[in-house]
Amino acid sequence: MMIKLVGTVMIESLGAAPRQLASAQAQVAFARLIIERASGTGRDQLADTVWPDGLPDTWASALRSVVSRVRAFVSGGDCDETPPVVAQGGRYLLRLPVEATVDLERAEEAIREADRAFSAGAYPEARHAAGLAISWLSSPFLPGHEGEWVVSIRERLHGFLVSGLETASLAAAALGDYREALRFADEAVREAPLRESAHRCRMTAHAAAGNRAEALGAYHRLRRMLADELGVDPAPETQVAYVELLGTGGTVQRPETSGRIGDTIPFVGRAAELDTVAESWAAAVQGQARVILVEGPAGIGKSRFLGKAAKTVARAGGMVIFGRCNPNSNIPYQPYVDALSALVSASGDDGSPGLNVAARAALNTVADATRPGPVHRATLAAAIVDGFSAISRDQPVLLLLENLEAIDHDSMTLFSRLLCEDRALPLLVLGTACTPSPVTARVVQALSDADVNCVMRRVMLGGLDDSEVLRLMRTAVPDATGLPTPKQLIADTAGNPYLLLELLRRPRGGHADDLPPTVLEFTAARLEQLGDAARVLLRPAATAGPVFELDLVAEAAGLGPAQAFDALTEAVAHGWIAEAPDARPGYRGRLYRFVQDVLRRAVYLSSAPARRNELHTRLADAIESRRAGTLAGYSMQLAHHRAHGAAPAGDARAVRWGWRAAAAVADQGSAEEAVRLHRQALGHVPAGEPDLFAEALINLGLAQLTAGDTAGEQNLLDGAIRSLHRGNAAMAARAVLGLSEAVMARPRLRSEVIALLDSLVRDRAGDLEPVLYGRLLCRRARLGAPVHGRPSATRAALDAMGRRLGELTGPDHLAGRHELALEMLDLAVAAGDPSAQLLAAHHAAMAADLAGTEPARLAALAALGAATRLGADAAAGSAVGSALFGEHLVAEAVSQGRFVDALAAARMVRPVREPFPGVDPAPGTVAARQLLIARWLRAGCWPTWDESFARGLAAVEHSLTTIVGGERGMPHLTIRALATGALPLPEGDDLPHVLGILAMGAVELGDPYTAEAMRALLTPYTSYKCGVGYRSFAGPVSLHLGRLAVLTGDWPAAERHLTVALVQLTERGAKPWIALAQQSMARALEGRGRPADRRHAEAFRREAAQTLATVSLRRPALAV
């Protein structure tokens, strides 16, 4: 199967007609998903690629439509994967069969194969491979689409095409096929007129055919074009080729290898700074001396900037003189003497025709200062000033002075004299100074004090931005395969050109922490400029990671608070450290970071491995001692430091912190990272701790199964066997629970799991906690084995599981509660216990309903109905089940707008007099609270409202009742107190219902401050539903967040939350709530005020009115 992205986008398969993709949007989405299928494409990135000129208002749904077209296009071919496009972790992943090939990738591989073959002298193979690549790349890539990503791929493919043409030309020339060699070379020149390697191929083709004159003519045409277009001469490689042509008649050379960074690095950016130089030069030409101080850190490109400015000035007719401040020189006024002496040397014995008599006399006096013997300082100073004055009389002068931070006192004084010269002085001094640096700061201050005529300007060279780095990469490295992105490079280097280029020069495929020796040397040189305390501080700071906390690093460094602050101040002054903008949960102090992360890694690597291990251990000790109350927020850091500081024989602390970090990342959905941390922890188990090893093995196996890695099954089996033989039944049970879930899908170890379950249940029951024992019995039942064990033990297990479920109420433990409830339900069914079935089904339905998982909710409600009927047959629990189910019927009727049915059902609900353990609020007490919400929906117009329903309502619900009745004062105080924490909120299953009531009341009050407090309360539960589980319905949290966002004027958040709410409500058929969401969406769109928003808002209002009419409601006030 061949996928073609160049030219017509299509899929070709054996025995089938080619299938084309017509939609331009689907084409570009398909192309990006194909090219990035290894790592996946972020949803936002894909949307920006499809709509490069701006996203449509409903871009999320439109993107799903585009992806659906791609999915349909791919699945119509030979793709066996189902589905071919999946969404995972906010990214789209495209799966292709192993045999599938892509024309772009085949072309790229062909280019590399052609280069390899040409290097080895296999010219026929090189020509063939290059020809294949040319045939695949000759058509345009997505000609009907633009955008940054498409243009970048198009430029990359264009580079491959030109490389293929060059290799094909050189290979043809080597084989004696001169006509084809010239044809390929001419095509390469047409494709890239300014690419010198293409012109060299043309020269080689002519020379190989014996046409030396044509080859030389090709060189001269190139030289003239470069001079006219760019004002530059041909590169050294081209000039060498020209000389060889003159001497030997031409030799075949291979082109530069794709992806290798060239020797000639382009100058990018600095447009505004060059404009400043141009303005100052224009003033200098008019006789007004000017000074520009170019500042920036080491490697930022100050010398290249001076070179660029010097070329511009030289082309404009100025004289360029170069000097450098040398702190070790004994020559008075050293930078000026060196600069002017070089001019004397360049003029020769007979003088220079460009220098007048006065200039030569002054220069001779200056040159004498470099010879042995006494120097008269006053005479020399006067000669320097006269020399510059005389030279600039006939030609304006640009004086370049590097390293001004090293200027001596006498030279500084003379500098001031030059600035204050009364005579017209066509002189521009362009000096560099390394900043930030305390020494430079003093020099800059002295220069500013001397600038009485205000002729000095300061130019700060900062790092290159994204676009400039991209231009640099495209020019310097044509093949960007395997390179970091511009954003990654900027994060690493802060846009420092020297560090950027050194990182680009690294060999491809190496480890990310492998740094070039040049970077290590650069770092060492900069470290030498710091004091001892600053260097001592930077080593643990580099070990701490991308950001660090000063007190922790200071303790690891062995520095006191005052020493640490002084060292930090010095490091900041020298540009090593800056304050980090982000905050760490639970930490209120300042965070710091390295300005250039690559230097942090270089400092870290400069320490010996043993020293690094020690620093990691010290940092971990500092965290444990100084952050003892907030260690949960440092689990990742502690796992990292303990692992890297662990002894070769193992470290139990590294193991346990690895487990904690793995649990933290697993809660965030990073299953693969959790596996990595568990594997790392297993590697640090000390040899003499078999129990710890078994536990680590089991933890790794469980993490692997969660990540979809079947290797976890064997690890769990081995861990269970080890734990059983060590007498640790509870640990073995953990492994068996995980294994039993796995064998239901992959029964390879089914018999072994049943044997392990038998051993635990039969022989180790006394060693197991009752809930764990019950979970094991449940697994036996699920695997089809009979539930062995004493009835009393089974009953005790069911009771313990019920008590544990009672501890998991509320919105904070939904997944664990639902899982345990289903296990208890299966065990109760197997044991024939209707009362336990009812309780388990209740908890399963509560958790599923709060989480908003509709299939699980419906299944749990069906189990609740079955348990209620079974309880009636057995004369046990029928009243409880009937009350709970009656409450559910009331909630469903209110949610769907069937208010008469809701009232009738509520009258049938009978509160249970005796408390039923594990069910709170008491069965039968929630129906009245649901009717209050119905009354609010109907704006207080309940035709037969029975006040008896209002008895026993909580304060927050009384507040909503009084708000509906028109009162604001006391309800506002109550809602405000609950929203801000002045009054405690209820716990357990009541909390989501109360939060929904509070949100309704906050919107009714219209107070933005209370609305913001409510948003903060609701945000942790964004995907959940408000209500007492399946027993009441107060709308999804997303609806309330959207309405509150409308009230506070946060239009983007309002649209986002209300869009989610509409999907959730439509799934439930909750018509009044759908209308409420539609009216709120209309208000949000009006508030945002985009051109098309008003039309969309009116459409939402019309739909809301139609929806309300179907349930006999008229309430415009619900619009917020």
Tens of pLDDT, residues 163-212: 999 999 999 988 888 889 999 999 999 988 888 899 999 999 988 888 87
Query: What is residue 554's predicted lDDT score, i.e. its pLDDT?
Result: 97
Question: Between the ranges 31-40, 387-396, 747-756, where is the mean pLDDT highest?
Answer: 747-756
pLDDT band at residue 1026 under the 50/70/90 scheme: very high
Exposure on the CB side of residue 214, measured as CA atoms within 13 A: 13
Tens of pLDDT, residues 31-76: 888 888 878 888 888 888 888 888 888 888 888 888 888 888 887 7
pLDDT band at residue 329 under the 50/70/90 scheme: confident
Cα separation, 1108 vs 1082, in Å, equals: 15
Cα separation, 95 vs 917, in Å, equals: 51
Query: What is residue 877's predicted lDDT score, i.e. its pLDDT?
Result: 55
Closest CA to 589 of 579, 597, 576, 600: 579
- Threshold 0.85, pTM exceeds: no
Q: Is 485 helix (H, G, I), strand (E, B) or coil?
A: coil
Number of C-beta neighbours around residue 1014 at 10 A: 29
Query: What is residue 594's predicted lDDT score, i.e. its pLDDT?
Result: 96
Tens of pLDDT, residues 277-306: 999 999 999 888 899 999 998 889 888 888
| Residue 307, burial from CB neighbour count under 10 angstroms (0-12, 13-18, 19+) | middle
Q: What are phi and psi of 134, to 5 degrees?
A: -60, -40
For the chain, give the number of residues: 1120
pLDDT band at residue 875 under the 50/70/90 scheme: very low
The strand pair at 547-548 and 592-594 is best described as: antiparallel
- DSSP single-letter state for residue 77: T
Q: Decide if 239 contacts 249 (C-beta within 8 A).
A: no
Query: What is residue 373's predicted lDDT score, i.e. its pLDDT?
Result: 61
Dihedral sign (CA 644, 650, 656, 660): positive
Number of C-beta neighbours around residue 588 at 10 A: 6
**Under 8 Å CB-to-CB from 119, ≥6 apart: which residues?**
254
Cα separation, 925 vs 884, in Å, equals: 9
Cα separation, 68 vs 75, in Å, equals: 10
Kindly state the helix (H) or strand (E) to which residue 290 belongs, with its residue range.
strand 290-296
Q: Decide if 200 contacts 241 (C-beta within 8 A).
A: yes
Tens of pLDDT, residues 623-641: 999 999 889 889 999 999 9
Query: What is residue 7's predicted lDDT score, i.e. its pLDDT?
Result: 85
Query: Taking residues 998-1014, what's their average pLDDT?
Result: 91
Kindly state the helix (H) or strand (E) to which residue 738 belongs, with its residue range.
helix 729-745
Tens of pLDDT, residues 395-419: 888 988 888 888 888 888 887 777 6
Lowest-confidence pick of 97-111, 715-729, 736-750, 893-907: 97-111
Tens of pLDDT, residues 571-610: 999 899 999 876 666 566 789 999 999 999 999 999 999 9
Percent pLDDT > 70 in the chain is 88
Closest CA to 1038 of 1006, 1076, 1005, 1004: 1076
Q: Decide if 655 contacts 681 (C-beta within 8 A).
A: yes
Whether 433 has a pLDDT exceeding 80, the answer reads yes
Query: What is residue 251's predicted lDDT score, i.e. its pLDDT?
Result: 41
Please give the residue that has the higher pLDDT: either 1081 or 963.
1081
Cα separation, 715 vs 698, in Å, equals: 6
Please give the residue that has the higher pLDDT: either 61 or 512.
61
Residue 725 structure tokens: 């033989």
Tens of pLDDT, residues 215-268: 877 877 887 777 667 766 677 677 667 656 644 434 434 333 333 444 456 788
Whether 824 has a pLDDT exceeding 90, the answer reads yes
Percent pLDDT > 90 in the chain is 39
Whether 1097 has a pLDDT exceeding 80, the answer reads yes
Residue 308 structure tokens: 């660029």
One-character DSSP codes across 681-722: HHHT--TT-HHHHHHHHHHHHHHHHHTT-THHHHHHHHHHHH
pLDDT band at residue 79 under the 50/70/90 scheme: very low
| Residue 15, burial from CB neighbour count under 10 angstroms (0-12, 13-18, 19+) | exposed
Whether 1048 has a pLDDT exceeding 90, the answer reads yes
Query: Taking residues 1059-1084, what's their average pLDDT?
Result: 92
Torsion of CA 928, 931, 932, 933, to 10 degrees: 130
Query: What is residue 162's predicted lDDT score, i.e. its pLDDT?
Result: 92
Core vs surface per residue 108-133: b (16+ CB within 10 A) or e: bebbbbbbebbeeebbebbbbbbbbb
